[in-house]
Amino acid sequence: MMNIKHRNNNRCKFFKQGICAVLFILAINGCKKDNQIVKTPDAGSGSTIDFVLNDNFSLNVVYAGLQYAGLIDTLAKPGPYTFLASDNNAFLMEGVTQYGFYYFGSVGRVQNIMRYCILNGNISFKSLPLVQNKPFLTHGGGNVYVTKYLNGSDTIVTVNGLILSSIDNRASNGLIQVLPQVMNPEIYQKLVDHIHNDTTLTMFSAALQRCKLDVSLLSGSDEYTLLAPSNTAFYKSGQLGKDLGISTLDSILTADPVKLTAFLKYHIIKGRYFEGDLYRNMQADPTGIVMLDGGKVVIGGYPSGFHAITFLGSGNNGIPSQIPTPVFYDGTINYADIPCGNGVIHIINQVLIP
């Protein structure tokens, strides 16, 4: 096993070192699952968060990511900090090497992701009371949302709906919490701002504007979860056997606002629901989750899978909608669990029919 052992101010040099280490390790281990036990330093050893990350094979990709983003020195400071560290497997969800994450990610994008994982203070998740999506401010300016709940005799902690792999791993200047996936950073305070700036959701944005729901509903302080159909989902809506009249931008701009409003509200849930929250709702009520129009959408899929969740509308003839994946792999694109200050967005590959 190889690890990068020394810090250097030359970002390119570190990036190359990180890639070489990763490729060497992958060649030896064949991308096997890593041990989630994090080695922690002895009390008073002076081992800061950056040192602990570097000293743990299962976390060497996020360590290289911090180097690439020019943020590794932050976690060497006194702090204290709490760092939300995605393990190596988080970067392999699509079956590609860790290199893919950096190859497709601009420095700015990786900086946003990494800053979103840094919190001020020693935030012990073991010591938290039972909470639901409690916000914690990150160095990126947005919040992460921590939930702690009982599942039988087990206590479960999630961050943005992701069940933590390892909790409260200590360093001399803070704590490390280990995640099984890479989180989307919270960039926008309002759902409407994300929608209007996401080119994947141009059709959905136009439909919301046609009904004025973007202003009347999604610009306020109330929290909502959007199952937002992609542009492709709108284009293909004419193939679902019903005359929805929303398969082109022109048809959306001339659609009956009353009918369009009802259709859109069938894609909106009151409250903040990450994937993990939706699965919990599925277990509590298999008949479906109540949408804003009063109808239900059935949640299905496999919690252990990577974005394997499904959504089945009453009028979709048994064909569920899913989270799409990019046609060409991009390690920085994640269409599920997109956090905003007033809610969450999940982009889906098929419209839902009431």
The answer to whether 354 and 263 are in contact (CB under 8 A) is yes
Task: Pick left, alpha or beta for residue 124 (phi over 0 → left; psi -120 to 50 → alpha; otherwise beta).
Answer: beta
**CA 180 – CA 176 distance, rounded (Å):** 13
Q: Is 83 exposed, middle or buried (0-12, 13-18, 19+ CB in 10 A)?
A: buried
| Sheet arrangement for strand 174-179 | 118-120, 81-86, 174-179, 166-171
CA distances from 133 to 100, 147, 278 (A): 31, 5, 13
Selection from 163, 88, 90 nearest residue 125 by Cα: 163
pTM: 0.85
Sequential pLDDT tens for the chain (354 residues): 333 333 333 434 433 344 333 333 333 243 343 344 465 554 444 699 999 999 998 998 899 889 988 999 999 999 899 999 999 888 776 444 555 555 556 788 889 999 999 999 999 999 999 999 999 999 999 999 999 999 889 999 999 999 999 999 999 999 999 999 999 999 999 999 999 999 999 999 999 999 999 988 888 889 999 999 999 999 999 887 677 889 999 999 999 999 999 999 999 999 999 999 999 999 999 999 999 999 999 999 998 888 899 999 999 999 999 998 766 656 567 899 999 999 999 999 999 999
> Distance between terminal CA atoms of the chain?
54
Dist CA 101 CA 110 (whole Å) = 9
Distance CA 165, CA 145 (A): 16
User: CA 50 to CA 82: how far, in whole Å?
Assistant: 12
d(CA 180, CA 177): 10
What is the per-residue pLDDT across 197-213, written as a single tens digit (0 to 9) for each?
999 999 999 999 999 99
